[in-house]
Structure 1
Amino acid sequence: MNRILKEALVYNDQKALKHLSKFVAKWVRDQLEDLHVRNDVMDDQAMPEINRQIRNGIYNALYILSNSAMDSECLKLAVDTEQRIPEYWEDPVLDIYLEKNRQQLDSVELKFESSFLNEQLHAENIYRLPGTSFIRSKSILELPDMDTEMRKKNLNKISAHLRREGYSYDPDKDAYVKPLKFNI
């Protein structure tokens, strides 16, 4: 669960973000269902309580996700919530303006400060994984026109340059990512 949260919020992985949205929506929906059962009707007077339930549902879902690796109760709740997400729920969609923004972000040309990395990008030895901010390098066997020792040196150099530009390696994705910085 923590991996999905990290991929969605820090690495901007769209698939993980959609999954996280369903998880949060399920928790919020259950909160609203409880409110509906208690009040039998949702009208304008119920809006303060509805708003409170939405906020609490989102907070509860994020709390569970962020603590599921450390706390067995949170892990149990996370697994239970995952299992209760209906199969028929479609992936969430961005509104038209945010979808346009996402497409623009996906089409932004990747540029590095390092001329070496830009050369590797142009040679397609490194590439961005579609729909994410992950940078992956070709494997040692995929690098062309080099003996094994040169391939190793090239991959080490790619790694060193990416790290200098603020990227870190994520073994789960076998890729590099530049985490977002939040000013909280």
Structure 2
Amino acid sequence: MTHSLDPAALDQLFLQARTFNKFTAEPVGDDLLRQLYDLYKWGPTSMNTQPGRVVFVRTEEGKQKLKPALMPNNVDKTMAAPVVAIVALDTAFYEHMPTQFPANPAARDLFASNAGLSTDTATRNSSLQGAYLIMAARALGLAAGPMSGFNPTMVNEAFFPDGRWKANFLINLGWGDPSGNRPRGPRLAFEDGVVLA
């Protein structure tokens, strides 16, 4: 890239963007969810591992399956969101490496033979992919409300009973209703968050 985004884009992605707790009743169509994936999938991951997986929960049946795992203060807003993304990780992500990282034919075995490296890589990079999802949603005009207030064991039992995928965090998605926004929290000053070495 050779130029900065214009101020309106920076506002939409960062400066004026908010974590939404409330959404309009307008649905989010499957075509838009596919467009969302086709955008955020391009975010970089270590050795192109791409361990992130997403379940887009859209139906009442799916939401009722998710509901018991939510912390009480997250129930109403999550049940009302048009879509809830379960950002998960694939514990066997390395099975795709022969096609996704052909530059290193030994990459699959590197992760398959090292459980610690595999777990760390999957956790770190699926978190990155979830962040890319949030930014891609904002870029497409959607609002996002990421959450970690849930019981991952219950989500795994309900949605991933074979144990291969594991829940990382949740993101409520839809068309934002700013009436549900809280006052924006402050951010650390440069001097408190950065060391120039």
Instruction: Please state which structure has a larger fraction of its residues in helix.
Output: 1
Instruction: Please state which structure has a larger fraction of its residues in strand.
Output: 2
TM-score > 0.5, shorter chain as reference = no
Higher relative contact order (CA 8 A, sep 6+): 2
Q: Which structure has the larger Rg?
A: 1
With normalisation by structure 2, the TM-score equals 0.31
